[in-house]
Amino acid sequence: MNISLLIIGGAIGAVSRYLFGVLLMKRNKQPQFPVAMLVVNLLGSFGLGTFFSFYYGEYHSGDYSDPIYLGLVIGFFGAFTTFSTFSVESVQLFNDKKWKELIAYILISIMGAIFLFAFGFYIVNPGD
C-alpha cells in the first residue's frame, strides 16, 4: 500500500511539474534564468508549508506510516519540486558565465523556498 501511495503521488507530482513547466516556458520563451523550475520549486515550498500547517498544526519530521504523508509529501511534493534540476540549471548558468543570473537563481531559489515554506505554514496557522 505504501509503495502504491508513493507511486500515485509521485506520478501526479511529476506530471504536474512537467505541465506547469511547459505552460511557463510557452509564456517566456527566452528566460534569463530557469524561470519554470524556480516557480515550481517556490510554489511547491509554499504548498508544503501550508500542508504541514493545515494537516499537522506544527512542523514535524515525517511519519512514514501516515498514508497522507507518504502520498502527498514524499510522493507529490517530492516529485513536483526538484533539487536535482535546480543543480543542473545552476551549473549551466555557471558554465555559461552568467554570474548575475546564477547568483540571483541560487539566492531566490534557496531563500525564496525557505521563506515561502514558512509563509505558507504561518498563514494557515499564525500561532499564539
List, in order, residues 6 or more apart from 111 with CB less than 8 Å away. Answer: none
Instruction: Say if residues 87 and 96 touch (Cβ distance below 8 Å).
Output: no
The DSSP code sequence of 91-115 is HHHHHTT-HHHHHHHHHHHHHHHHH
Rounded CA gap, 44 and 109, in Å?
11
For residue 81, say whether it is annotated as part of any ligand binding site: yes
Residue position matching grid coordinates 555557471: 94
User: Hey, CA dihedral for 35, 31, 90, 101, is it positive or negative?
Assistant: negative
9 assigned binding-site residue: no
CB 52 within 8 A of CB 69: no
- Annotation: binding site for Na(+): 78, 81
What residue numbers does the annotated binding site cover?
78, 81
